[in-house]
């Protein structure tokens, strides 16, 4: 209750605070003044000024002077190195074994599901040929989907009639057709845009879901094809370093001559042609395979003036253990007929 009839001096106000333990707001109520009026009077007193001291501060938290736990960081880095080194050793020891042959390995790439100009009937028909042909298997060398989700490429979806999500649905249908014959999948630049944007390796997830026994690598797969006792070390990438306007497989051949650790390579990406080309490296007979594209009508290529692609898409290589040879087929239908005749004779 306020007491307006009583006069309070500044000393009285300070005494109420110090001796009686009242807060400044309680004193204001008692004396019928505002909080600001009470504090203004008291601040003028020498006794109040004498006892006022600067506030003491205590900081509790992570300061700039703290040093990281160097030992913990080092141990974590060492553990990560051992994990990566072990994975790399496993990558270099991958083998696909067949007890006998011949065996046809078909390189398929640049499916570009989601594009309006992709030849979907051909893509699924050839998947069925691979599935139904005895001794014939497939390797997918990237760009399964158009996946235009990066930067300026997003605008290309405006003119398309198939969404990005629908492109992945089509790839799922394709892998369900061929999964029993699908040996290996490598990601391409279009597939890996999902990884670049969100850290999600979507093509890996689809492969794991529908073809769990299939070897997978996001970028660069090394695998040895073994038929009987004969071994052909191979390397599969979507895009290779090194280009030539005269030789579509220049990058593969260049790597084989420099690295000398594989005799059979698969590439894609260029959309120039489907081709199987024999060459020599370090005294060994080698085979370079470039996948043709199923994106047969390509506005981007037409605008850029790129060369017209040939008619080949899936390219087969027949590995024969008796002769130790690799033979390329730029016609999947002819390769399938050859393999069918081989195994018809053996029945």
Of all helices (H) and strands (E), which one includes residue 343?
Answer: helix 332-346
Three-state DSSP class for residue 82: helix
Q: Enumerate helices (H) and strands (E) in the chain, giving the number of each.
A: 12, 12
Question: Given this model, what pLDDT does residue 312 score?
Answer: 95
Tokens 């027949």 -> residue: 318
The model carries a pTM of 0.81
Question: Given this model, what pLDDT does residue 100 score?
Answer: 95
Question: Given this model, what pLDDT does residue 1 score?
Answer: 46
Q: What is the third-level CATH fold of 94-346?
A: Purple Acid Phosphatase; chain A, domain 2 (3.60.21)
Count the Cβ atoms, other than its own, within 10 Å of residue 12.
15
Residuewise pLDDT in 10s, the chain (347 residues): 454 557 788 787 778 777 777 887 887 888 888 878 877 887 777 777 667 777 888 889 988 888 889 999 999 999 999 999 999 999 999 999 999 999 999 999 999 999 999 999 999 999 999 999 999 999 999 999 987 767 666 666 666 788 888 999 999 999 999 999 999 999 998 888 888 788 889 999 999 999 999 999 999 999 999 999 999 999 999 999 999 989 999 999 999 999 999 999 999 999 989 999 999 999 999 999 999 999 998 877 777 777 778 899 999 999 999 999 999 999 999 999 999 999 986 65
Count the Cβ atoms, other than its own, within 10 Å of residue 212.
9
- Does residue 118 contact residue 173 with C-beta atoms inside 8 Å? no
Domain definitions of the chain by residue range? 10-51, 94-346
């Amino acid at each position: 209750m306020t007491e307006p009839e009583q006069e309070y001096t500044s000393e009285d106000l300070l005494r109420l605070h110090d001796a009686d333990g009242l807060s400044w707001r309680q004193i204001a109520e008692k004396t019928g003044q505002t909080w600001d009026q009470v504090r203004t009077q008291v601040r003028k007193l020498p006794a109040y000024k004498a006892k006022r001291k600067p506030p003491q501060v205590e900081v509790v938290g992570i300061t700039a002077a703290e040093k990281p736990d160097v030992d913990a960081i080092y141990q974590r880095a060492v553990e990560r190195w051992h994990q990566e080194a072990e994975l790399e050793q496993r990558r270099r020891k991958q083998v696909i074994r067949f007890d006998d042959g011949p065996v046809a390995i078909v390189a398929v790439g640049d499916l570009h599901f989601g594009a309006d100009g992709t030849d979907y009937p051909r893509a699924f028909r050839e998947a069925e040929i691979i599935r139904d042909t005895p001794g014939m298997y497939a390797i997918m060398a990237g760009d399964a989907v158009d996946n235009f989700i990066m930067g300026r490429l997003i605008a290309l979806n405006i003119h398309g009639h198939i969404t990005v999500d629908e492109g992945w649905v089509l790839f799922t249908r394709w892998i369900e057709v061929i999964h029993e014959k699908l040996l290996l999948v490598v990601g391409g630049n279009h597939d890996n845009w999902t990884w670049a944007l969100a850290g999600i390796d979507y093509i890996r997830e689809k492969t794991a879901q529908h073809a769990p026994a299939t070897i997978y690598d996001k970028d660069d797969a090394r695998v040895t094809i073994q038929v009987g006792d004969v071994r052909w070390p191979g390397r599969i990438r979507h895009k290779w370093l090194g280009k030539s306007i005269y030789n579509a497989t220049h990058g593969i051949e260049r790597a084989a001559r420099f690295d000398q650790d594989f005799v059979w390579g698969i590439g894609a990406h260029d959309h120039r042609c489907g081709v199987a080309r024999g060459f020599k490296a370090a005294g060994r007979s080698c085979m370079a395979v470039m996948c043709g594209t199923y994106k047969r009508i390509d506005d981007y290529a037409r605008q850029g003036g790129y060369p017209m692609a040939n008619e080949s898409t899936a390219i087969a290589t027949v590995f024969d253990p008796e002769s130790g040879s690799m033979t390329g087929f730029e016609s999947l239908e002819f390769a399938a007929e050859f393999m069918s005749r081989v195994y018809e004779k053996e029945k």
